[in-house]
């Protein structure tokens, strides 16, 4: 694993972007992020065959220190990518650490709202299921399945959060330090559930803000049957262990 850095950034907030074959989305997404909010960006690339890592390096070199790239040797899972990104940010003193997808399903325009909400909360969660939230361009069966998955996790873990599977979040550094990233067990999308659940169990303040979730613009979804199966079983492991 190696890191490409270009001087010091100028923000107290770091957006972590795990990538695997996202070269078509990455340039415009990072440009929007840097234009929209006072944040730095860390790309965590899992040796994308399409050259996403090389594209990220070129962006970083032109970013005046606001973009860095963490290269990993192979595809190791979404959860471990975020853990690596969070460790990077904690080591460099960032006060807020954000996570979002790199496929435009999460819109950069919401980042200022996350930063404002973090002034009064420890975890800010972009929610599809609170008033004002929505899912765009999904078939009804996919929306129903997503809602059912969140309800399933909420029912087992008893967490008072409407969108427990959301992957658009902002953490105060104190939350991630208290959780102890070395003990996080989830590697796929259940990582989203685990971190929110553990933050709630530790007594941190969680605030949901409405977002509209969009279908990806380019590339292919990373969702698979194995990832779904992990999410189904992992909530029971969290509940009893």
24-81 residue pLDDT tens:
999 999 999 999 999 999 999 999 999 999 999 999 999 999 999 999 999 998 999 9
Helix-strand-coil percent breakdown of the chain, rounded to 5? 40, 20, 40
pLDDT for the residue numbered 224: 47
Domain ranges, residue 68: 2-240
The mean pLDDT of 85-103, rounded to a whole number, is 97
Q: Which residues pair with 125 in a beta bridge?
A: 169, 208
119-162 residue pLDDT tens:
999 999 999 999 999 998 877 777 777 777 778 888 888 899 99
Task: Quote the CA–CA distance of 79 and 177 in Å, as a whole number.
Answer: 16
Whole-model pTM?
0.87
Residue 210 tokens, joined: 């409405």
Q: Quote the number of domains for the chain.
A: 1
Domain containing residue 65: CATH number: 3.90.550.10
């Amino acid at each position: 694993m190696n890191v490409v850095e270009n001087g010091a950034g100028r923000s107290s907030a770091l957006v972590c972007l795990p990538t695997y074959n996202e070269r078509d989305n990455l340039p415009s997404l990072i440009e929007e992020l840097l234009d929209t909010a006072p944040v730095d960006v860390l790309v965590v690339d899992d040796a994308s065959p399409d050259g996403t890592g090389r594209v990220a390096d070129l962006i970083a070199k032109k970013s005046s220190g606001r973009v860095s790239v963490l290269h990993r040797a192979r595809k190791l899972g979404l959860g471990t990518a975020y853990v690596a990104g969070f460790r990077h940010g904690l080591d460099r003193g960032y006060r807020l650490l954000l996570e979002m997808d790199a496929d435009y399903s999460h819109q950069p325009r919401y980042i200022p709202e996350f930063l404002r909400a973090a002034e009064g909360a420890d975890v800010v969660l972009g929610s599809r299921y609170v008033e004002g939230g929505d899912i765009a361009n999904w078939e009804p069966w996919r929306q129903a399945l997503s809602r059912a998955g969140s309800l399933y996790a909420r029912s087992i873990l008893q967490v008072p959060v409407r969108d427990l599977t959301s992957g658009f979040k902002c953490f105060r550094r104190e939350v991630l330090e208290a959780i102890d990233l070395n003990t996080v067990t989830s590697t796929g999308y259940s990582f989203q559930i685990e971190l929110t659940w553990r933050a709630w169990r530790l007594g941190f303040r969680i605030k949901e803000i409405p977002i509209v979730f969009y279908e990806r613009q380019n590339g292919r979804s990373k969702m698979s049957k194995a990832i779904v199966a992990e999410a189904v079983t992992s909530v029971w492991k969290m509940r009893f262990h």
